[in-house]
Amino acid sequence: MSQVAKFLEVAQAEVGTAEGPKENETKYGKFTKMDFQPWCGSFVMWVAKQVKLKIPNCVYTPAGKSGFQGLGTWSNAATAKPKPGDIVFFDFAPGGAAVEHVGIVVKDNGDGTVTTIEGNTSSEKKKTGSQANGGEVAIRIRAFKEKNKRGLSPFIVGFGTPKFKD
């Protein structure tokens, strides 16, 4: 099995994992020594570690974006062709921090959206709750193109492509 397939398999196995018992308390935060902090980036780093994938540190999401830019493996949402295993960066509050959430691309849906696995978000079922601090690992469909066939708001800033082995 390829490293990207293993990466996605590990992420998939975590879907449904919730924080707690305290807010932002997770094994992912313990792993990055950032427990009790928003943990989307810690989730991505934990999954990468499980398959020995070296990626820029995404615990502080703006630094993760900068890390991929520094490696030359960053694509802005407007021009991106996302692939499974890409690290996806979000801005849910335009005008605030440029990047406040991160996840993993499962697939490009071919309609201006991607399917993702994200830590510390709210599931589609809840319909409420924070997208960037929602408390669980969930599968989401997110827009990266302004004009997409699902009519979703495009909160994706861009994608970082890890250097997978094989």
The full set of domain ranges for the chain reads 3-160
Nearest Cα to 55, choosing from 148, 127, 159?
159
| Pairs from 13-20 (Cβ < 8 Å, separation ≥ 24) | 14/43, 14/47, 14/117, 14/119, 14/137, 15/117, 15/137, 15/138, 15/139, 16/136, 16/137, 16/138, 17/136, 17/137, 18/135, 18/136, 18/137, 19/120, 19/135, 19/136, 20/135
Considering only residues 126 and 71, tell me which one the structure prediction assigns the higher pLDDT: 71
Average pLDDT over residues 41-66: 97
Q: Is the pLDDT of residue 53 over 90?
A: yes
Quote the pLDDT of residue 133: 78
Helix, strand, or coil (residue 56) = coil
This prediction's pTM:
0.94
Beta strands in 74-112 (DSSP E): 74-76, 87-90, 101-108
Nearest Cα to 90, choosing from 138, 144, 155?
155
The mean pLDDT of the chain is: 92
* Fold of the domain spanning 3-160: endopeptidase fold (from Nostoc punctiforme) (3.90.1720)
pLDDT digits (tens, 9 = 90+) for 90-111: 998 766 668 999 999 999 999 9
Backbone phi, psi, residue 36, to 5°? 75, 15
Residue bearing tokens 């993760």: 64
Q: Are 7 and 53 in contact (CB under 8 A)?
A: yes
How many CB atoms are closer than 10 A to CB 6? Answer: 18
Helix, strand, or coil (residue 27) = helix
